[in-house]
Amino acid sequence: MVATSFQKLYNLEVDAANLTINQTKPEFEGDYTLVLFSFLKQLKTSPDKLGNEIGEALVNDFGEIFTAHNTIKGFLNLTISDDYWLRFLQENFKNKKYGTAPANHQKVMVEYSSPNTNKPIHLGHLRNNFLGWSVAEILKNIGYDTIKCSIVNDRGIHICKSMIAWQLFAKGATPESTGIKGDHFVGDYYVKFNEEYKSQVSELVKKGMPEKEAEREAPIMKATQKMLLDWEAGEPEVMELWEKMNQWVYDGFDVTYKRIGSDFDKTYYESQTYLLGKKFVEEGLQKNIFFRKDDGSVWIDLTEKGLDEKLVLRKDGTSVYMTQDLGLAEEKYKDYHYNKSIYVIADEQNYHMKVLQLILQEAGKPYADGIEHLSYGLVELPSGKMKSREGTVVDADDIIDEMVAVAKNKTKELGKVNDFEPAELAELYDTIALGALKFFLLRVDPKKKMVFNPEESIDFHGFTGPFIQYTHARIKSILRKENPEGDSLKDVLLKPEKDLLLQLEQYPSIVEQAAAEHNPSVLAIYIFQVAKSFNSFYAELSIMKAESKLKKELRLQIASLTARVIASGMHLLGIKVPERM
């Protein structure tokens, strides 16, 4: 409509995507505000003149929607008619697909999780999982055909460290014999390796060996390096142990993934893909994309792109991480022919991901421009950074157990679950705990580092998942007493009613924004604001004791749409909302 007015008044083609329209600030009259500054120079006019002309055109041509306008210093404030808001409410309060878009026939792959099989999934992995899953669901919601995938890092020296430590210290123990979850069991031996390695290095240094040499000559490290060579040679006993210990880890991962709600359409394994890049490099050498140095190693020169030379194959012909990623990118495209491929990887790999895309572009790959890096900051605890090899990482299972315990205590303090059955209570504690954890990790812009505090995340009155869950349960309690009948409405809206409707109308555009930015925090912040607005609305205006039957119906419909938007938005964040709590 605004673009139409520009065309009619000034014969100016305006792309609606380039218009800046915001909710009007509370201190001004209006519902939506159009920012005019970008058009002033082009049209050679003043802000007041342009605002008045556009405002008048909108009121005259679209009077069923716009009822008034005012211009203040380059901002055109527009008032929307009550009839428009009532029609919007009628059309959507029962609409289960509100906020979704039809299929756009574009395919997007989202790669996330990507754990190592030498340790359990930890707190840092949780942010990765929650971001990847949520972004995939948000993109699916706006019409993309999404494929969720993971690459499991199941080979290499770090895997052999756990294997060697198990041989040295386990005395045949297994997850079954110890009652320890498989991924935790294997992770314990990774820590044992590093403890023994430090001890051996220290002993060698005491005997007079330089530290760097001691690190190379420590017997446990030399045994590990030999095991890696044996694995690459396919030595049967090593392969049998590798398969057995990896399966212990996979069984443990599956339990955690099921608990946190992570799922994948495709899982790739590094042991099956790490050689794929060699073919890619050989083809690149023939096309002069890569060059071979005198020592036999293969490189690409990216200095003209503002970077440097990058190794893609070692002098002994073995792969580096870049080689593997080049081969895997090719394999993924062969499997799915995606339009976009989003890598959810910590910001420590920003340079690596930039190089990966540049190499693929230099190679003329059709999927190169579709590669996008969702770079995110690491999660720290109040005590500081975590380190796997030192055993200071907080395992995902442990943090979830702690969250459930906190959720249980906080819920009991409220004293509103006395009539719940034990199984229902257990499910509620789990729902609140995971909701708190996911919301806390997703409410922060992915690009920012963050500190996770379990107690702060479960606050029924703060910027938290449980606050939103409680609001949803509160609305459902109202609707259990009386549902809206769907009557046609004709009424004058009070300010709290209109304010909430204005906010609810923005839901589809918020989902679009979160998708475009690959940023679930946009949605998390919006859903929190909706929950907060509903609580203000409910505190000011009675629903069940409304001043008229018409008002009661109106407010029941508003409550119904609010619950629908909260449930839909929270689902896109991977969070369940209880019917009661």
Q: Summarize pLDDT for 322-356 with one digit per residue, the tens.
A: 999 999 999 999 999 999 999 999 999 999 999 99
CATH class of domain segment(s) 2-80: alpha beta
pLDDT of residue 384: 53
Q: CA-CA distance, 198 to 336, in Å (whole number)?
A: 45
Q: Are 312 and 276 in contact (CB under 8 A)?
A: no
Q: CA-CA distance, 2 to 172, in Å (whole number)?
A: 74
pLDDT of residue 139: 98
pLDDT of residue 331: 96
Question: Measuring CA to CA, which residue among 127, 97, 90, 93 is closest to residue 112?
Answer: 127
Q: Summarize pLDDT for 109-148 with one digit per residue, the tens.
A: 999 999 999 999 988 899 999 999 999 999 999 999 999 9
The secondary structure of the chain in percent helix, strand, coil, rounded to multiples of 5, reads 55, 10, 30
pLDDT of residue 389: 45
pLDDT of residue 67: 94
CB atoms within 10 A of CB 236: 8
Q: Are 117 and 250 in contact (CB under 8 A)?
A: yes
Q: CA-CA distance, 239 to 416, in Å (whole number)?
A: 55
| CATH number at 396-572 | 1.10.730.10
Q: Return the ∠ at Cα 399 (arms to 396 and 401), rounded to 5°.
A: 110
Q: Give the residue ranges of the chain where pLDDT is below 70.
A: 383-392, 487
Rounded-to-10 torsion of CA 167, 172, 174, 179: -130
**What are the backbone dihedrals phi and psi of residue 58, each rounded to the nearest 5 degrees, phi first?**
-65, -40
* pTM, entire model: 0.91
Residue 490 one-letter amino acid: K
Residue 437 one-letter amino acid: L
pLDDT of residue 492: 85
pLDDT of residue 320: 87
Q: Are 370 and 139 in contact (CB under 8 A)?
A: no
Question: What is the three-class DSSP state of 501?
Answer: helix
- Which regions of the chain carry the CATH code 3.30.1360.70? 2-80
- Which regions of the chain carry the CATH code 1.10.730.10? 396-572
Show Cβ contacts of residue 99 under 8 Å, excluding neighbours closer than 6 positions: 141, 507, 508, 511, 565, 568, 569
